[in-house]
Amino acid sequence: MALLFPRMTTSFILKCLGIGVVSGIIAALCGVGGGVVMVPGFVLLLGLPQKTAVATSLAIIIPTALMATTQNVRAGLVNWQVALITAISSSLLAYFGASWLKSMSDDRLTKIFGVLLIVFGVRMLWAGKP
């Protein structure tokens, strides 16, 4: 096991579990978790490079989204028209975005990420009902 996962210490596992707990709760309550919780957690707590943090977060979003979506479908909360149209466009552009990710520096990605969090956070705090 140590050969496959050389960083698998108790501290590492606890940090991963903590990031998972917080991101799972935030994902279910707010629809975010990967970008807002996991990426900074992976970078700051685990020391992962920004690119690796983003790629790892995206891989984790799949099962997280499936679990939360199951509950939201049961509650009748999913707008399938919005979900279908947005899923098609975001999936297509995410493919190209993943290529752009490879060409950018970790420093630039971190700055883009930070600015987006601030801009959207401020917008949501001061925005009235849409």
Angstrom distance (rounded) from CA 27 to CA 19: 12
Condensed to tens digits (0 to 9), the pLDDT of residues 12-66 reads: 999 999 999 999 888 888 877 778 899 999 999 999 999 999 999 999 988 988 9
User: What separation in angstroms does the CA of 60 have from each of 16, 18, 79?
Assistant: 12, 14, 23
Question: Between helices 10-30 and 50-74, what is the axis angle to 10°?
Answer: 50
Res. 129: pLDDT tops 70: no
Are the CB atoms for 58 and 35 separated by under 8 Å? no
Q: What residue has token string 């009902």? A: 129
CA distance 112 to 115: 5
Cα 71 to the center of its chain, rounded Å: 19
Task: Give CA angle at 55 (51, 56), nearest 5°.
Answer: 115
**pLDDT in the model for residue 27:** 81
Distance CA 115, CA 111 (A): 6
Task: Report the amino acid identity of residue 31.
Answer: G
pLDDT of residue 127: 80
- pLDDT, tens only, 80-92: 999 999 999 999 9
CA distance 114 to 110: 6
Tens digits of residue pLDDT in 95-109: 998 888 889 999 999
Confidence (pLDDT) at 1: 47
